[in-house]
Structure 1
Amino acid sequence: MSAPLPGPVMVAAGCGGTGRELEPFCGDDGLDGLHVVTRSITLDARSGGPGPRVVEVPGGLVNAVGLPNPGLEHFLATELPWLVRAGARVLVSIAGATMGEYADLARRLARAPGVAGLEVNVGAPDDVGAGLYEVREPFHSASVIAAVRREFASDRPVLAKLRPDVSRIVEGARSCHEAGATAVVIGNAVPAAFPDGRAGGLSGPAVAPIALRCVAEVRRAHPDVPTIGCGGVRDLASANAYLDAGARAVQVGTALLHDPTTVARLRATLRTTAHLPGPEETP
């Protein structure tokens, strides 16, 4: 059985907090039926990088959060049960220092009640994800996806989250799909710098033209590879730009820090368009 594709609108990794922070802004339905990608979970807890971790710049944010999270055991004991009770369709973002860690995370999450799928973070911008498995070539990403897929049921989605690198995205998307990824999320933050020169990642509307180009390139070269657009999605027009470029769904991230009602509004409006079905109709 093939895994169903999540969508049409999703919360991007880490941008909905633990879910508790976002729920009050999601309208009458709350998180019920909404695909929520968690912050990236690692085997052991991470405190994150030094401050300031986020700086607003024209067109978006530069961030270097360092993937703070409570570790897998704490997540399974506290955050996941709450999200499941709230009705969210939980896709757990995972990150590891080795392929073995990715496989271990996938194996343990495969047994956890309420996990609808995984998103594999293999595109952290430069030093932002310090300590993670080094992904420099498409075959590195594909190897991680293959290791995860071997441990995770084929009837649940595994998403590969890649950086929007126009020169490598077609090869990376194809490799990850062939390795077992249900879809490719394009994209992660773009490598950038803080005003003081520290390495970071740029997200928000400023990266949308790059991510859109990447989605279109993958669609043109490999129309059988499902993509999910991420980067600057903030309203119906920006969401439809990704769908028109060939994406099958969109994720909302940075916009939630400015307007946490963005997901609720897009959820309602996208259901009324001809692009995609609502969550209750997703196969």
Structure 2
Amino acid sequence: MLTAYITHPSCERHEMGADHPECPERLGAIQDHLLIKGLMDCMQPYTAPAATHEQLLRVHTGMWVDTLTALSPPDGYVRVDADTAMNAHTLEAARHAAGAAVLAVDLVMRGEVPNAFCAVRPPGHHAARGQGAGFCFFNNASVAVAHALTQHGLQRVALVDFDVHHGDGSEDIWAGDERVLLCSSYQQGLYPFRDEAPAAANVVLAPLPARSGGSAMREAIAAHWQPALAAFRPELIVVSAGFDAHREDDMGNLGWVEADYAWVTQLIVAQAQASARGRIVSLLEGGYALSALARSVAAHLKPLVE
């Protein structure tokens, strides 16, 4: 069986204006690099469906879904916050990005693929129950988690997030829900300016100082994530895979390299093999230096396709 590679053409039509870092070229850079490296030969491509209203309402309020639908412009841009805007294709792209998460869970849970990577945008982990922010509209990873719990009857799902920014939207949705373990690493003092106090017992934080490098990340994740995941024994692991902690990405300042993404992925794979029959659903979040993004995604995918 091959790893699923899920995307949709609309994800490249969403854009938020000239020079915006969350640009359509991100997906092209990833796919081109995976083709060059031969990794696309190790994956099965799928076209993402659009998430249904019911699937979105598992994690978002009806008011937020209706607000986004009403805001969707026929042309030009409509601003959601200072950094986040919609064009005529954004709503469609956001629905397909969330739909990719649903399809990925279905494929993995049905045993049709061992794991899945969703090459989608807009990203999702800053989208809370009732609002979007930070380039995000719907919380794709949380849609995946909710679908696994609701439609596949799982009792324990882990959501792990290694973006340079904390997944505050995911925390808003899942903090206090004992069925979900949320593990997040992020740079301290960076948007969304999360402090170091966990919001609930099911939230495990690994905040990292600026310029701390990959060794600090490995130590923190081994100390905090690894024992929590082992004790929780997830039946599925959903990954918010952000690559903006790379040393070439000026969105943050953690100084990671490709080997660091390979290391954290190998840790996730080991836990999935121990408790989840190897089942992993990974979704693209951040990563804005195109070459570094593409190389880091390849480093992330190698342990999955192997």
**Bin for the TM-score computed over the shorter chain:** 0.3 to 0.5
TM-score (norm 1): 0.40
Which of 1 and 2 has higher RCO (CA within 8 Å, sep 6+)?
Answer: 1
When you count helix as a share of all residues, which structure comes out higher? Answer: 2
TM-score (norm 2): 0.38
